[in-house]
Structure formats: C-alpha cells, structure tokens
C-alpha cells in the first residue's frame, strides 16, 4: 500500500519575518481629506466623543467610523456640571479615561515636552481593528485649520529614536511636532525647542493608535485654536477640534504589523506519492487488502491537486490548493512550496 504522509525535515521548513505597512482608513486608503460626523451620534454620546467618518453616514450605508475625537479637562471645565453638583462633567470623564490609560498611577496632569502641568487634552483615537498591531511611527501627518490659519503635525520618531524616556503605561511615546512627510520627513521645530510655557503639540502612542494634542500649544500661533474652558458650560470642544480637522482637510496614516511566514518545501521524489486515495484506483484482494487495479500498476501516476499539512496526531491543520494539477510518476519528481503567514 502506498504511503500518503511524509514528515518534514529541518531543511524542509524555513521561517522569515517581514514588516508590512498599509493604509488604516476605509477601503485601505492611507489618506482622507473629507470628514463627517453622525447627527444621531453627536446628539447622544457626542458630548463625550465624536465618531469621525470618511463618507457621510447619512447618505452612504457603507460609511464606517475612522477615528474618534474627544476633549478632556482635569476639573471638568468646558462641559456642564461642577464638582459635587449635578451635571455630567463629560470632559472630566474623558480626562480620567485617558489619564488612567496613558499615565502611571497618582498622575494628575499630562506632560508635553517641557510643560508638566497641562490639565486639558484633545484625543484622537483609533479602534484596534484599524490599528491591528500598531500605527507606523513616522507614518502619519495631520493638518489642522482654524480660519485662515493652518498647521501640519507629525511625530518626531525620525529623530527621537526609541521614543521619550518617560514612565508611561504604553511605550513607545513620541512627541507631536510641526513638520511634514511630503518629500521626506521634515521636522520644523523639535519638541525640545518649544517654549516651556506652552509645551509641545502633544504625544503619540503607536501601539494604542492614540494622538494626544495639547490645547495650550494649539492656542498659540500659527493655529490660534480657541478652546472653551469655562466651568459648568458646554464649550463644544469636541466640535472645535473636529472643525479644525475639517479645515485642515488632510489626514495621512499607515499601520504596520509584523508578519511571520513559514515556508514548507514539499518534496515528492520519484518513488513517492505515485498513488492516490481515490477509491476507483484500487480493488479488494482476496486477503481483504486494497490493491492497485492491474491496468494502472505498470505505470503508476497521479495528479497532485492539493497539499495537506498535519500535526503529529494526524489532524489536518491547513490545506493548500494548486492552481493546476501537477503530474507525478516514477519518472517525475515534484517540489511544491507552501507558505503560511501569521
């Protein structure tokens, strides 16, 4: 009876690892220039955060959320409610969420480069399905506009190798700086060169898919973005940062993931795999054993159509289908490479 299984040797299996980048936005795009929100969402949970779409969800059924924007304040300013009184204090809830996510315990405020007492933030966040493994450091550029004013933002990973030496819950952390990726990465002003009065434009966490922006810095030239920080007042700051993104009309971003590939070299020598599991190829002998039909015996040959990979318990783990059958006989050998990506 012919054998239908063969054990791989060490030489038959090769491993390699590659970094693959792709666009994070809908349809695999790496750039979006139009931005929409949902009137339904902004009327309910929009006080906490706004979902941003590439297509208008009111007219396009395929529109999906691309990222979210939110404003947080450590005392709840810019939203309704006061400490110990009625009101949602949504900005305080947002602040607490991102402060707990990023900063170590007992941290009360954010640090943006030289300024360590920033009590308010804008957060741009992506969900895990879009991030996959992480956002590519140096792979994003965001333009913000406020009236006739505009600024282009990137991260400083091209110069800040390994990221900031800070104690954070998720590393690496990079600074958000003014600059552009067009024609090669150009940082206009390094985070360390920014005034300690205002700090840098923000921080970037590639493994979280999170960009934290510093409203104190955004309020300075050239953008001059106004953030409402009155107590017990709806400042609509989520809409403020969204409108600024709309005004910039440019958000480029790529993700990157490590793909591990395993290559199996399936070698069928001249004396192997010259029989098939097809029942019509055999007949029952007197002893009850299956024998190859006499007409097929002189020149055994088969057509290979697929390759199955099994574990030591003979359980099928994967199957590879050939684009066209390969003739196999005693006068023909075959070498088939099967690639699995993880």
pLDDT digits (tens, 9 = 90+) for 272-309: 888 777 777 777 666 667 777 766 666 777 889 999 99
Reduced to 3 states (helix: H, G, I; strand: E, B; else coil), residue 102 is: helix
Percent of the chain at pLDDT exceeding 90: 69
Reduced to 3 states (helix: H, G, I; strand: E, B; else coil), residue 170 is: coil
Name, in order, each residue with C-beta under 8 angstroms of 118's C-beta and a sequence gap of 6 or more.
Answer: 109, 110, 111, 112, 199, 214, 216
Do residues 109 and 117 touch, judged by C-beta distance below 8 A? Answer: yes
* Residue recorded with tokens 């934290």: 212
More confident of the two residues 29 and 165: 29
* Residue recorded with tokens 């929409």: 36
Q: Is the pLDDT reported for residue 1 higher than 50? A: no
* Dist. CA 191–CA 175, nearest whole Å: 6
* Dist. CA 227–CA 146, nearest whole Å: 12
Do residues 164 and 172 touch, judged by C-beta distance below 8 A? Answer: yes
Reduced to 3 states (helix: H, G, I; strand: E, B; else coil), residue 23 is: strand
Name, in order, each residue with C-beta under 8 angstroms of 114's C-beta and a sequence gap of 6 or more.
Answer: 192, 194, 195, 196, 199, 200
Name, in order, each residue with C-beta under 8 angstroms of 85's C-beta and a sequence gap of 6 or more.
Answer: 232
Q: Give the per-residue pLDDT at 3.
A: 66
Q: Give the per-residue pLDDT at 309.
A: 93
pTM score, whole prediction: 0.80
* Dist. CA 32–CA 206, nearest whole Å: 19
Cis peptide before 87 (omega within 30 of 0): no
Do residues 254 and 23 touch, judged by C-beta distance below 8 A? Answer: yes
Please choose, from the candidates 103, 140, 138, the residue with its C-alpha nearest in 3D space to the C-alpha of residue 124: 140
* Dist. CA 118–CA 227, nearest whole Å: 13
Do residues 123 and 211 touch, judged by C-beta distance below 8 A? Answer: yes
Q: Give the per-residue pLDDT at 280.
A: 73
Q: Which residues pair with 304 in a beta bridge?
A: 326
Q: Where are the domains of the chain?
A: 10-17+259-341, 34-249
Please choose, from the candidates 280, 268, 260, the residue with its C-alpha nearest in 3D space to the C-alpha of residue 322: 268
Structure tokens given for 212: 């934290």
Reduced to 3 states (helix: H, G, I; strand: E, B; else coil), residue 12 is: helix
Do residues 283 and 1 touch, judged by C-beta distance below 8 A? Answer: no
Structure tokens given for 311: 């574990």
Please choose, from the candidates 305, 268, 300, 306, the residue with its C-alpha nearest in 3D space to the C-alpha of residue 281: 300
* Dist. CA 4–CA 266, nearest whole Å: 13
Q: Give the per-residue pLDDT at 2.
A: 57
pLDDT digits (tens, 9 = 90+) for 56-102: 999 999 999 999 999 999 999 999 887 766 567 899 999 999 999 99
Q: Kindly report the number of other CB atoms within 10 A of residue 133's CB atom.
A: 15
């Amino acid at each position: 009876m012919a054998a239908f299984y063969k054990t791989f040797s060490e030489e038959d299996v090769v491993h390699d690892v590659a970094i693959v980048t792709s666009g994070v936005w809908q349809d695999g795009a790496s750039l979006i220039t139009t931005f929409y929100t949902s009137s339904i969402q902004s009327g309910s949970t929009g006080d906490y955060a706004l979902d941003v779409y590439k297509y208008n969800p009111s007219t396009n059924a395929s529109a999906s959320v691309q990222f979210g924007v939110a404003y947080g304040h450590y005392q709840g300013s810019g939203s309704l409610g006061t400490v110990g009184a009625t009101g949602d204090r949504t900005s305080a809830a947002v602040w607490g969420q991102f402060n707990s996510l990023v900063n170590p315990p007992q941290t009360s405020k954010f640090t943006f480069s030289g300024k360590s007492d920033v009590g308010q933030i804008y957060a741009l966040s992506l969900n895990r399905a879009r991030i996959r493994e992480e956002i590519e450091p140096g792979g994003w550029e965001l333009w913000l506009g406020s009236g006739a004013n505009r600024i282009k933002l990137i991260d400083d990973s091209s110069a800040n190798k390994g990221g900031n030496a800070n104690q954070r819950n998720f590393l690496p952390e990079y600074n958000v700086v003014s600059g552009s990726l067009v024609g090669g990465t150009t940082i206009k002003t390094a985070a360390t060169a920014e005034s300690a009065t205002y700090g840098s434009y923000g921080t970037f966490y590639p493994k979280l898919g999170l960009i934290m922006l510093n409203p104190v810095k955004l309020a300075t030239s050239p953008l001059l973005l106004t953030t409402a920080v009155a107590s017990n007042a709806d400042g609509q700051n989520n809409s403020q940062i969204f409108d600024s993104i709309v005004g910039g009309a440019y958000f480029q971003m790529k993700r990157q993931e490590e793909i591990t590939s395993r290559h199996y070299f399936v070698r069928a020598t001249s004396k192997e795999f010259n029989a098939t599991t097809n029942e019509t190829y055999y007949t029952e002998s007197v002893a009850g054993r299956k024998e190859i039909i006499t007409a097929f015996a002189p020149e055994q040959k088969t057509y290979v159509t697929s390759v199955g990979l099994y574990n030591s318990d003979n359980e099928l783990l994967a199957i590879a289908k050939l684009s066209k059958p390969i003739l196999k006989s005693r006068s023909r050998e075959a070498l088939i490479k099967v690639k699995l990506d993880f």
